[in-house]
Amino acid sequence: MKCFTMIYRSAIVAAASLLLLACSHGDPATAIAGSEGPLVIYPDYKDVTIPANIAPLNYRYAMAGVRKARTTFTLDGKVVTIRGTRVEWPLAKWKSFLADAAGKAISVEAEAVVDGRPMKDSWVIYVSEDAIDGWLTYRLIEPAYQMWNEVSIMERNIETFSETVICDHTLTDNACMNCHIHGQQRGDLSLYYIRGPQGGAVLNRDGKLRKLTLNAEGMLSGTVYGEIHPSGRFGVFSTNIILPGLHTTAGSRMEVYDTASDLTVADFDRNEMINLPHVARADAFETFPCFSADGNSVFYCVADTLQVPERVHEVLYSLVRADFDASNGHISEQVDTVWSGPANNASVCHPKASPDGHWLMFTVADYGTFPLFHTESTLYLADLATGEVRALESIKGDKSDTYHSWSSSSRWFVFASKRGDGQYGKPYFCHLDTDGNPTKPFVLPQKSSRFYDYNFRSFNIPDLARASTGMTPADARRMFKAASEPFKNAD
């Protein structure tokens, strides 16, 4: 994601904190929507499907006046009882409990006294036979209209609670960092950006780090959104002139839109930018490219060029596909429409192909290119074999659902959602069956059951990987100080 400067951080965070406390009578989480049922829990882990290798689902009873809580978990004759309003598992005990749990269901029985009245509840936690990739990267950032330079790119082992720094603003003299992506869910094939005068794209390829200037004469800008080819040789990117704007409309926060955008291909072996006129048209906005699973196609979003912000509500992006030639990095001029924005009176962004080549997931909103605060934004799923496209309405939150990425098995995906509080994006996970039906989303587990009550940063661009990048803060500092390799236009 491109960086931009906004204001009001201190005042807004302070006001939000006071409002949260005022609404909750000293208990912040009662202002956050929890589960349904007689006993409300937060985060909501009732009736979810989880991988057996996930960290403990720690939660709390999010009700005023609750006490004497007792929760019993039963699986294959094993019984664990946790007393208290905060249900927090020791990691080793959780791992032992879930041993051989794949394909089975955990029965949960809960009881507590609420305002002097005894109450009971029960639910099930389903354990999938499909494991999930164990590593998640994300950018931690204040809500986008507040702050841009106090950011961190983090890597979390989602099988535990271990979190490490890939890059942090203190290591880059407060320069912005963004868009950490993996190629093929590989830990040793990834890229992130450092912006500003000493900036560049930090490419991790086979464990070797390089700092690249992914820009050349005649391009609109350096590269912004994109993806790495399965071979590791190429990257397909958009170049964008991006502007943010604050809304005066009640219920809205801000709009992010492009005044111009093109596509380009980077050849990492030859240090060249391959700029093709048919994907850099003045009469079209082209953005959010990604590769197919086999690397033989590029999917991207395209809309007619209109005057913005005056006509931003009329900007409707379509999702298209073009062949990709991995011998020379060229995108074909022949384009097929996967999903038409104008025909559906809506707009698409963030396409991602599943690693097995079966599915293409993307986000649909009423208009525009970056529905950061669009409450209507919904994840869609396209079957690439049949061409069927449908909205994943069963997992739609009450606020924006946007960026997503796949696990390498194609049976899990993670997406960013502002559901609940409407301000802070959090990573939610879903299992997908062979027919493309998703399960109830669950939020990334945290060691403290109160973590999300007091967290004031968004988890931005969550991206799954099979292994750790192995990158350290020392690497980040070294890359920041290193000279950036120049790129030239391909002949």
Is residue 33 domain-resident?
Answer: no
Q: Is residue 18 part of a domain?
A: no
pLDDT tens across 282-319, in order? 999 999 999 999 999 999 999 999 988 888 889 999 99
Q: Is residue 36 part of a domain?
A: no
What letters, b where the CB count within 10 A reaches 16 and e where it falls short, cover 396-419?
bbebbbbbbbbbbbbbbbbbbbbb
Same domain, 363 and 268: yes
pLDDT of the residue at 372: 76
pLDDT for the residue numbered 19:
36
Q: Is 190 exposed, middle or buried (0-12, 13-18, 19+ CB in 10 A)?
A: buried
Q: What is the pLDDT of residue 144?
A: 54
With respect to residue 298, please indicate whether it lies within any of the assigned structural domains.
yes
Query: What was the pLDDT predicted at 468?
Result: 96
Higher pLDDT, 352 or 491: 352
Q: Which of 70, 103, 127 is the last residue of a domain?
A: 127
What is the model's pLDDT at position 253? 60
Is pLDDT above 50 for 367?
Answer: yes
113 shares its domain with 153: no
Q: Are residues 249 and 141 in the same domain?
A: yes
Question: Half-sphere exposure of residue 383, counting CA atoms within 13 Å on the CB side?
Answer: 12
Paired strand residues for 79: 74
Residue 178: pLDDT band with limits 50, 70, 90: confident
Chain centroid to Cα 54, Å, comes to 18
Q: Do 281 and 410 lie in a common domain?
A: yes
Q: Strand pairing of 359-365 and 378-383?
A: antiparallel
Tell me what pLDDT residue 51 has.
98
How far apart, in Å, are the Cα atoms of 119 and each of 39, 111, 116? 7, 6, 9
Q: Which of these three, 127, 159, 183, is where a domain ends?
A: 127
SS3 78: strand
Q: How far apart are CA 265 and CA 214, in angstroms?
A: 9
Domain that holds residue 287: 135-481
Position 149 scores a pLDDT of 61
Query: Which of the listed residues 75, 107, 127 is the one where a domain comes to its end?
Result: 127
Domain assignment of residue 488, yes or no: no
pLDDT-wise least confident of 18-32, 39-53, 241-255, 265-279: 18-32
Q: By C-alpha distance, which of 369, 392, 388 is closest to 379? A: 392
Q: Same domain for 359 and 419?
A: yes
- Do 154 and 115 share a structural domain? no
- For residue 491, tell me if it sits in a domain: no
Residue keyed to tokens 């720690």: 58
Whether residue 333 sits in one domain with residue 212: yes
pLDDT at 116: 93
Q: Say whether 457 sits in a helix, a strand or coil.
A: coil
- The pLDDT of residue 259 is 86
Residues 459, 314, single domain; the answer is: yes
Answer yes or no: do 100 and 198 share one domain: no
pLDDT mean over 390-400: 91
Contact in structure between 189 and 468 (CB atoms under 8 Å): no
The domain spanning residue 354 has which CATH number? Answer: 2.120.10.30
- The CA distance from 101 to 75, in Å, is 8
- Is residue 106 domain-shared with residue 173, that is, in the same domain? no
Q: Are residues 234 and 105 in the same domain?
A: no
The predicted model gives 235-245 an average pLDDT of 85
CA gap 86, 394 in Å, rounded: 29
pTM beyond cutoff 0.75: yes
Most confident stretch, 98-102, 177-181, 306-310 = 98-102
- pLDDT tens by residue, 316-338: 999 999 999 999 999 999 999 99
Residue with more model confidence, 2 or 98: 98
Over residues 141-146, the mean pLDDT reads: 65
How confident is the model over 1-58, as pLDDT tens digits?
A: 445 333 233 333 333 333 333 333 334 433 456 788 899 999 999 999 999 999 999 9
The residue among 140, 138, 142 whose CA lies nearest residue 7 is 142
Residue 378: inside a domain, yes or no? yes
Strands of the sheet containing 318-325, edge to edge, are: 284-291, 297-304, 318-325, 330-339
pLDDT at position 120: 96
Residues 149 and 109 occupy one common structural domain: no
Domain count, the chain: 2
Taking a C-beta distance cutoff of 8 angstroms, is the pair 167, 449 a contact?
Answer: no
